[in-house]
Amino acid sequence: MNSGRGDLQHVAAGGLARHIPVLRVEVLKALAPEAGGIYLDATFGAGGYSAAILATPDTKVLALDRDPRAVAAGFDLVDAAGGRLTLVEARFSELESAARAQGIASFDGIVFDIGVSSMQIDEAERGFSFRQEGPLDMRMSGQGQSAADLVNEADEAVLADIFYYFGEERAARRIAKAIIAARAEAPITTTAQLATLIARVLPVRPGAIHPATRSFQALRIAVNDELGELVAGLSAAEHLLKPGGRLVVVAFHSLEDRIVKQFFAARSGRGEAKSRPLPGEPRKPAPSFSLTGKQPIEATPAEVAENPRARSAKLRFAIRTEAPAQPLDPALVSLARLPQKQTRRGG
């Protein structure tokens, strides 16, 4: 945990952040920070959202990141914030305990920027990118099972499920089969090895994405339990937000966005028929969030031209009501896991 003092003007300008965060203007509009408010930046990254929130006078920010490198790189921003920014290494499932450890019972707003950061992709030694030679790692925290462990130890059915369900890869079974054959000759230990193998199974088509794109996404999600952490984070945010507090989430692919969309729909009652319960039927809980405006919000053409990563970004937000937080929905949890019974996989 780190907090400090320093040049507030520099922080307010975002001068210490190495990357301009995606949908920065839209996130601030949705979050609507107010002077004196307390906010949670659940994905600190390079500190862009934290710095933007701190531009509002007298705000305080608790920022979290599961990546120890991101936390270490944020020391200057913490120091410049003059005690208004606290940075902690933690994952989404630890939101409530991290807040309690800082003596914070509730927040006026919470923001999530889901998925891998451009910093992580740019560091070849982290193993996130198929475009750079590096160890097949992909661990955001640097701990636990790596992508190489998974690729070299999981059985064919598990690999196929990971590629199909977490990467939406239609050729999941072919890729898994090729991995099993290749690793019988020698372990697959680098990003280049795996990317080359996948390209042999799925030849590159002109104008199409690299054939390894979906498989690398799938492995990264599996290694870091990204969807499970997202579900846990959304549930924790529901408990931590004050009435009127805002939850803002930026997602970058359909799996993340589907979870966020269904969470907000279930918690707001959107899409449910307005009817009286039948005799003996339990009443549905009061909505714990309200939705406003047209969603999702996407990047403008100008932002996409400046930052191609913004092309796939989708922002959704909701406002906390006074109703109690609801129990975690098993249907939402199931979206974050591989199916227990495989019904279909890509060929």
- Annotated binding residues for S-adenosyl-L-methionine, as ranges? 47-49, 65, 92, 113, 120
Do 7 and 67 belong together in one domain? yes
The residue that leads in pLDDT, 310 or 280, is 310
CA dihedral for 301, 302, 303, 305, sign (positive or negative): positive
Q: What are the tens digits of pLDDT across the range 25-59?
A: 999 999 999 999 999 999 998 899 999 999 999 99
Do 98 and 198 belong together in one domain? no
Do 107 and 231 belong together in one domain? yes
In this prediction, residue 275 has a pLDDT band, given cuts at 50, 70 and 90, of: low
Amino acid (1-letter code) at residue 6:
G
Do 104 and 244 belong together in one domain? yes
Averaged pLDDT score across all residues of the chain: 87
Does some domain include residue 196? yes
Residue 162 Cα to chain centre, angstroms: 18
pLDDT value of residue 143: 85
Does some domain include residue 119? no
Average pLDDT (254-270) is 94
* CATH number of the CATH domain containing 89: 3.40.50.150
Does some domain include residue 46? yes
Does some domain include residue 342? no
Average pLDDT (163-185) is 97
Average pLDDT (286-313) is 93
Rounded CA separation 11/320 (Å): 28
pLDDT value of residue 282: 67
In this prediction, residue 107 has a pLDDT band, given cuts at 50, 70 and 90, of: very high
* CATH number of the CATH domain containing 185: 1.10.150.170
Does some domain include residue 6? yes
pLDDT value of residue 44: 95
Do 206 and 328 belong together in one domain? no
Do 7 and 108 belong together in one domain? yes
Q: Which of 311, 316, 318 is nearest to 287 (CA)?
A: 318
Does some domain include residue 259? yes
In this prediction, residue 122 has a pLDDT band, given cuts at 50, 70 and 90, of: low
Do 41 and 70 belong together in one domain? yes
Number of structural domains, the chain?
A: 2
309, pLDDT greater than 80: yes
Average pLDDT (65-73) is 91
| Residue 116 near residue 229 (C-beta atoms within 8 A) | no
In this prediction, residue 295 has a pLDDT band, given cuts at 50, 70 and 90, of: very high
Query: Helix crossing, 191-201 with 213-224: angle to 10°?
Result: 130
Element housing 115 (H / E) = none
Rounded CA separation 251/233 (Å): 13
pLDDT value of residue 206: 79
Q: Which of 223, 244, 266 is the last residue of a domain?
A: 223
Q: Which of 208, 223, 238 is the last residue of a domain?
A: 223
Q: Which of 147, 77, 111 is nearest to 317 (CA)?
A: 111
Average pLDDT (56-69) is 95
| Residue 217 near residue 167 (C-beta atoms within 8 A) | yes
Rounded CA separation 124/210 (Å): 17
Average pLDDT (299-326) is 94
Does some domain include residue 167? yes
Residues 6+ apart with CB under 8 A from 314: 250, 251, 252, 257, 296, 297, 298
Do 34 and 106 belong together in one domain? yes
Residue 182: domain span: 130-223
- Helical ranges in the chain per DSSP H: 8-12, 24-31, 48-54, 68-73, 75-80, 95-101, 118-122, 147-153, 156-161, 167, 172-185, 191-201, 213-224, 226-240, 254-268, 301-306, 330-335
Do 98 and 244 belong together in one domain? yes
Does some domain include residue 315? yes
230, pLDDT greater than 90: yes
pLDDT value of residue 1: 57
Do 273 and 298 belong together in one domain? yes
- Annotated binding residues, as ranges? 47-49, 65, 92, 113, 120
pLDDT value of residue 207: 75
Do 216 and 143 belong together in one domain? yes
Q: What are the tens digits of pLDDT across the range 2-22?
A: 544 344 444 434 444 346 789
Do 201 and 143 belong together in one domain? yes
Tokens 């129990």, located at residue: 327
